[in-house]
Amino acid sequence: MRTPRSARRTLISVTAISATLLAGTATTVAAAPAEKTKAAAAEQATAASAASAAAAVAAPAERLIVGYKSGASEAKSNKAAGADAEAKGKDAGENLDFQRRLGTGAALVDLGKKLSKAAVADVVAEYQADPQVAYVVPDRLNKPLADPNDTEYSKQWDLFESTAGMRVPGAWGTTTGSGVTVAVIDTGYVAHSDLAANIVGGYDFIADPAVAVDGNGRDSNPADPGDWYADGECGQPEGSTSSWHGTHVAGTVAAATNNGKGIAGIAYNAKISPVRVLGKCGGYDSDIIDAITWASGGTVSGVPANTNVAKVINMSLGGGGACTSATQTAINNAVNRGTTVVVAAGNSNANAANFSPASCNNVVSVAALNRAGSRTYYSNFGSTVDIAAPGGETRTTTANGILSTLNSGAQGPSSESYDYYQGTSMAAPHIAGLAALAKSAKSSLTPAQIESAIKTNSRALPGTCSGGCGAGLADAAKTVQAVSGSDGSTGGTTFTSTSAVSIPDNSSSVESPIAVTGRTGNAPSALQVGVDITHTYRGDLVIDLIAPDGTAYRLKSSGSDSADDVKTTYTVNASSETANGTWKLRVQDVASADTGRINSWKLTF
């Protein structure tokens, strides 16, 4: 919807670890009370140790940074840390060397020279098996990040500004979207030199020639002939020029970058498959359903097999009414094939639950934020919204919109151009681009894992959102770092509780437990706590995370916030806590007149 390094040091890279070690480093685990046999628990612990050893060296490094627990002698004594390095090196058959103490108290350990592939993992595993070690991470090599040389990049506040930008440049050092195709199900594609290098074959699914306005019905050419209409047409008293909507959306996802002109795309080495479903006056559900099916690798009668199957679909389109079973079936099938479906929440300043496909299940529904990080005046909202992204507001200043690729033609195609648009249509491709980055960074991710990663690694809105904007403002750098392991995490495992717990009005606290098993050492310093709570006055709520030893971490205090619900992700420094054990979410309503429910919550390590 428009609107100079010593030669003796050894670089460690992901190729130094066997495929066996790398397998299964990101999983989703549902909290369950069932006990495991000792054999099964031992097998899980072994697998977890191997997986975390692989994750710890997933990025290039010359040395290791070892954090010891506060009570360990190695945490305070350089002599003890040196002796420990020597002992662990001996156990691994290598010569390790304690270098110095970091400002945080961690030990810097040189890895020596000529380490074999197996020896690298052995060294990491030795440290991870030590109960006195809180963490072991690579001493990664960082490089300066230069801005793209695209001439209009400075105008793309939505990518880089600290207030409400999506921190996209921070993700580019890890991935730029290579190997992923994004299907833009929209008005098709009008030729643009800033997109051409990333366009692959698509399809025109508009069956009605009157809507297609290209002289025929369905065909293999997704070219956009223009969607203009005259006064009195399309149920509108005034006519409109052509929008070139699909091309604008596609540019946000994957415009060519560092080519010395135009704009930068979010996943600029991904490919775009233009799939045409919108023509004059819009497009029908039937065509959109077939487009979803085909784009995700399904079979559509009379249409050739898709040779550019998309792992991400963007649909910046929609209409009134809840999601139908017909559309939901197509989306479910696409997700089951491994395709993440991203949709716009809608531009009616209303509850997205009353619009489709924004209200469909198994989609990532996206609300729009302005340059200050608040929900735009037009964006839909509500519990069906999953995440928020920049959508822009052009009513006061055009430059506060989203700049992307376009065409100057009022009716048919003319010269290529760039222009600012606003809309949840512009917000959705930000998330589609991020989904492509995540999939490129870790190809084994499922659509559910991609959605979870985007939501879990979002940040609190800089501004406000009455009605609910999902988990927060998407953060590309944080999301990509999390899924790739380049944030120094040791696996990215998520533990979830979906058992609903009622929150009584102005009464004692209630708790929801999650049993965490199979982890090694302590919880991370950036433990992600995802919370989904329904409540009619969230200002009444006090929310705490309770560690296995009973330590309480305050997530939210009570206040005068009159908005509904708490659907967000908190970050907790839980590095002093043992990871394994029963964690609890404690919630108390401290004022009268409102009640609620814990729908679900999760911990991501």
pLDDT (mean) for 125-140: 85
Ranges of H-type helices in 296-384: 325-336
Candidate from 52-56, 72-76, 341-345, 467-471 with smallest mean pLDDT: 52-56
The mean pLDDT of the chain is: 86
Percent of the chain scored above 90 by pLDDT?
67
| pLDDT, tens digit (0-9, with 9 covering 90-100), for 54-70 | 444 444 446 788 999 98
The pLDDT tens digits for 69-89 are 989 999 999 999 999 999 988
In this predicted structure, the answer to whether residue 541 has a pLDDT above a threshold of 60 is: yes
418-430, pLDDT tens digit by residue?
Answer: 999 999 999 999 9
- Residue pair 573/554 in contact by the 8 Å Cβ criterion: no
Higher model confidence: residue 498 or residue 344?
A: 344
The confidence score (pLDDT) of residue 94 equals: 77
pLDDT for res 113:
64
> Would you say the C-alpha torsion 343, 345, 348, 354 has a positive or negative sign?
positive
List, for residues 431-440, the tens digit of each pLDDT value.
Answer: 999 999 999 9
Task: Tell me the average pLDDT across 17-42.
Answer: 30
Q: Are 448 and 28 in contact (CB under 8 A)?
A: yes
Residue 22's pLDDT band (boundaries 50, 70, 90)? very low
Q: What is the pLDDT of residue 125?
A: 85
Higher model confidence: residue 281 or residue 21?
A: 281
In angstroms and rounded to an integer, the radius of gyration of the C-alpha atoms of the chain is 26
Better pLDDT: 543 or 123: 543
User: Between the CA of residue 200 and those of 195, 245, 551, what are the distances in Å?
Assistant: 10, 18, 54
Rounded CA separation 202/182 (Å): 11
State the pLDDT at residue 465: 95
Pick from 598, 445, 575, 456: nearest CA to 514: 598
pLDDT (average), residues 299-313: 96
Across residues 272-276, what is the average pLDDT?
A: 98
At residue 42, the pLDDT reads 40
Cα–Cα nearest to 496, from 522, 442, 532: 532
What's the rounded mean pLDDT across residues 568-588?
Answer: 90
The pLDDT confidence band at residue 323, using thresholds 50, 70 and 90, is: very high
Amino acid at 139: D
d(CA 442, CA 457): 16
Work out the burial of residue 305: count CB atoms within 10 Å of its CB; fewer than 13 is exposed, 13-18 middle, 19 or more buried: exposed
Reported confidence tier of residue 201, pLDDT bands at 50, 70, 90:
very high
Give the pLDDT band of residue 336 (cuts 50, 70, 90): very high
Instruction: State the pLDDT confidence band at 349, using cuts at 50, 70 and 90.
Output: very high
Residue 117 pLDDT grade (very low, low, confident, very high; cuts 50, 70, 90)? low
Rounded to whole angstroms, the Cα distance separating 26 from 444 reads 9
How much is the pLDDT for 564?
83
What pLDDT band is residue 43 in, cutting at 50, 70 and 90? very low
- Kindly state the average pLDDT of the residues 223-242: 95
Q: Which of 157-161, 285-289, 567-571 has the lowest mean pLDDT?
A: 567-571
The token pair that represents 454 in the structure block: 């985007």
Residue 147 burial (CB count, 10 A):
11
Residue-wise DSSP of 203-230: EE----HHHH-SSSSSBS--B-----B-
**Residue 230: is its pLDDT beyond 90?**
yes
Residue 412 predicted with pLDDT over 90: yes
Angle (CA) 196-200-204 rounded to 5° is: 105
Q: CB burial class (10 A; 0-12, 13-18, 19+) of residue 145?
A: exposed
What is the predicted pLDDT for the residue at 37? Answer: 36
- pLDDT for res 527: 87
Q: For residues 343 and 431, what is the distance between their CA atoms, to the nearest angstrom?
A: 9
Asked whether the predicted pLDDT for residue 567 surpasses 90, the reply is no
Are 256 and 268 within 8 A, CB to CB? yes
> Can you tell me the distance from the alpha carbon of 271 to that of 372, in angstroms, rounded to the nearest whole number?
31
What digits encode the pLDDT tens for the residues 254-263? 999 999 999 9
The pLDDT, as a whole number, for residue 141 is 57
Report, as residue numbers or ranges, the catalytic residues.
186, 245, 425
pLDDT at residue 122 greater than cutoff 80: no
* pLDDT score of 52: 47
The pLDDT of residue 191 is above 80: yes
The values of phi and psi at residue 412, to 5°, are -85, 175
- Dihedral of CA 531/532/533/536: which sign? positive
